[in-house]
A and B are shown apart, each in its own frame.
Chain A
Amino acid sequence: MTYILEAKDLRKQYPDKLALRGLNLQIEAGEVFCLLGQNGAGKSTTINLFLGFVQPTSGAAYINGLEVAKNPLEIKQHLAYIPENVMLYPHLTGLENLNLFSRLAGFAYAESELRRYLEHAGLPAEAVQRRVGTYSKGMRQKVGIAIAVAKHAKVLLLDEPTSGLDPKASNEFSELLRQLSGQGTAVFMATHDIFRAKEVGTRVGIMREGELVDVRPTTLLNANELEQLYLHYTH
């Protein structure tokens, strides 16, 4: 079968550093894979490789069976991405930003639909028509979530998406992720938040110095055990 997200011997060598040493990973539809690891462990590099922003030194990344490096444009039809710090055009309103990015993704939504996506992502109704320049980081993050959701992608790539969100918003976000995975979306999330990883993840992976050192289903661990495991690998 083809996996929604797959890495085969994925390797990235920077001039000064080996960022990723032969990653092998398969993620199926509806799965939520959480990647844990210290700063510089290679989490972002992995996401960038899946996004096609970085070219692998060897090996390949696949999205929906398509090799990323060979189909840089097509794979983006199938994925949505929320960076750690969502930045948008500051002079456009949240609504206009969502509209622009959705249209670029190939969707022409009516304004009411756009509003619904924003509300669904947790953006206060009064903020919808305000310029993004006046938003807090959390509000921008929510627009980013709306953009991702509105794309109806098969894969969601998340790079510490909840940083800057308050606990309530984080909780709502987890809820959203569960919904999406229920609808068959595969989620790949790099995070520092062990608790959230245990809560929404179906599997967790721990990365150290460019190497995926352990992968476990979350059902077999509680949060405390997961933390112990994490500390074990990173010390």
Chain B
Amino acid sequence: MKTFWILFAAEWRHFRAAKGLVLLTSLVLLVGLYGIYYGTSEINRQRQHLAELPALARHNVEELKVKFPDEADAGEIGYYHTTFAVHHPTPWASLALGQRDVNPYYVKLRLLGLQGQLYASENVNPTKALSGNFDLAFVLVYLFPLLIIALCFNLLSYEKEQGILTLLLAQPVSAATLVAAKLAFRVALVLGLVLVLSGVAMLWAQVPPDGRVGLWLALVVLYCLFWFAVAFLVTSWQRTSAFNAVALVGVWLVLVVLVPGLLNVFVSAARPVPQGLELTIKQRDEIHGGWDKPKTETMNRFFALYPQYRDTATIKERFVWRWYYAFQHLGDQSVQELASAYTDGLRQRYELVNRLNWLSPAINAQTSLNALAGTDLPAHLAFQQSATRYHDALRGFYYPYLFHKVAFTHADYAKEPTHTFTSTSDPTTALSGLGKLLVSTGAVLVAGLLLFRARPVNPR
């Protein structure tokens, strides 16, 4: 044990002397801090945008009050009044932005057909979306393995190539102790960095101190340990530094770049999603067909859904709002199957990825972190569902005015339902990710240990 600590301390001196590594480590630290800054400011910007929405909605109401100084037909209000369904981030979103940049985080809604409004996209610069987010999760999932590779590619081969290993092993020091001390030092360094960065990020993002803190730390620590296990496995092989570097970068390339790319191709082929545009086209046709269909036919179909309005007056006018909204409603109704097939398809894709993510701990770590932060596809789908319920609530609010011919007064604006939705963490996915990460790390570690035992260290 004593020699272990002597070697451990010596590693610190070797590390300090290697200027390139010190530079690289500081660079990763700085890049990590930038990632935290970027993630937090991005989420703060989204929060600020969300906070500005009520003002826009109020402004819209003010305009309507001017436009309709007295009592108005609720149909007019429903047509012109815009309101927002909002998707607030969890504090964790700052650490892992996930898909929050490409998926809209609010939806502008009117009383019209929902399906025509639900998929509106937010202004996103596609070039930036292609490059992706520089958040802490990216730094941890993408760059930390590279740091670990840079620290470990010549773990034992340096001493061997320098010819120091013979003299070292002529001391009462076993190769196992030597490798353990070297690895332990690097693990301590990297995990120190991980903990510092995570700690700073959590404080900055003001995450609530609950179990998720532990879950996040467990995920990122285990992910780093996985890469150390890979480095150990390659070290046990006892090849040259150049070979190790090529092998480790190769593993990185396969796990972080190729497997995700191939999996993406596979998943889109295995779970074809009915195109979203199909449903908007169909919905448009239904809604506009409503103008040309006999009003009684439309109304009877509508009354089947809302029998409580069956007794309302028969429509004789050329145009009346309740008829208009009825066929808007029926338009949504007609594509309901397509809409749920669409969301189901997306969810199935996501679940298939989750089932296969053991293929690459990088995908596993990324999806787990995103699940923890509530920034992946399921969170967005949950938001869309919540927005759908909100739109239903709006209908529930306006329909009595329309069908019972109640005039809409200025006081009624305040009674309109409002919407808020905050994404929630998905600890189940994150926990199962943690389990899989544990298995992959364990498997690689055992392979490394077996190889290390099978091949006695040759000091020359």
Contacts and interface: CB of A to CB of B under 8 A. Distances in A.
Given A87-B162, A89-B164, A91-B14, A81 B172 contact: no
Nearest to A147: B167
A81 B6 contact: no
B172 A106 contact: yes
A85 interface: yes
Interface string B1-22: 0110011001001100110000
B174 interface: yes
B201 to A, nearest CB: 34
A104 B174 contact: no
A100 B164 CA distance: 12
Nearest to B163: A87
A92 B458 CA distance: 24
Contacts of B171: 76, 101, 104-105
B3 A104 contact: yes
Contacts of A106: 2, 172
A2 interface: no
Given A90-B162, A96-B13, A104 B459 contact: no
Contact of A76 (B10, B172, B456): B172
B404 interface: no
B164 to A, nearest CB: 5
Contact of A85 (B3, B163, B456, B458): B163
B170 A92 contact: no
Contacts of B117: none
B249 to A, nearest CB: 25
A80 B7 CA distance: 19
Nearest to B178: A104
Contacts of A55: 456
Given A92-B17, A100-B6, A51 B163 contact: no
Nearest to A52: B169
Contacts of B163: 83, 85, 87
Contacts of A144: 167
Interface string B252-272: 000000000000000000000
A88 interface: yes
B359 interface: no
Contacts of A79: 170
B173 interface: yes
A182 to B, nearest CB: 23
Interface string B141-184: 00000000000000000000011101111111110000000000
B458 A53 contact: yes
B170 A81 contact: yes
B6 A104 contact: yes
A124 interface: no
A182 B160 CA distance: 35
B460 interface: yes
Contacts of B169: 51, 53, 76
Interface string A101-117: 10111100000000000
A66 B164 CA distance: 26
A85 B458 CA distance: 17
A77 B172 contact: yes
A57 to B, nearest CB: 14
Interface residues of B, number: 25
Interface residues of A, number: 31
A86 B167 contact: yes
Given A51-B170, A73-B174, A76-B171, A104 B164 contact: no
Contact of A80 (B6, B170, B460): B170
A40 interface: no
A83 B164 CA distance: 10
Nearest to B19: A91
Contacts of A147: 167
B17 A74 contact: no
A72 interface: yes
Contacts of A74: 172
A81 B167 contact: yes
A104 B173 contact: yes
B17 A72 contact: no
A105 B164 contact: no
Interface string B353-387: 00000000000000000000000000000000000
Contacts of B173: 73, 76, 104
A105 B14 CA distance: 19
Contacts of A85: 163
A201 to B, nearest CB: 22
Name which of B169, B172, B458 has the most chain A CB atoms within 10 A of its CB.
B172
A48 to B, nearest CB: 8
A123 B14 CA distance: 23
B181 to A, nearest CB: 11
Interface string A47-79: 010010101000000000000000011101101
Contacts of B166: 51, 53, 81, 83, 87
A71 to B, nearest CB: 10
A139 B251 CA distance: 42
A189 to B, nearest CB: 15
A88 B172 contact: no
Interface in A118-143: none
A68 to B, nearest CB: 12
Contact of A87 (B13, B14, B167, B174): B167
20 contacts: A51-B169, A53-B458, A76-B169, A76-B171, A76-B173, A81-B166, A85-B163, A86-B167, A87-B162, A87-B164, A88-B164, A88-B167, A89-B17, A91-B17, A100-B6, A101-B167, A104-B6, A105-B171, A105-B172, A157-B170
Given A87-B163, A92-B17, A104-B6, 19 more contacts: A48-B460, A51-B170, A53-B460, A76-B169, A76-B172, A76-B173, A77-B172, A83-B163, A83-B167, A88-B164, A91-B14, A91-B17, A92-B13, A101-B171, A103-B6, A104-B7, A104-B172, A105-B172, A147-B167
Smallest CB-CB A-B distances: 10 pairs: A91-B17, A87-B163, A81-B170, A76-B172, A104-B171, A103-B6, A87-B164, A105-B171, A77-B172, A73-B172
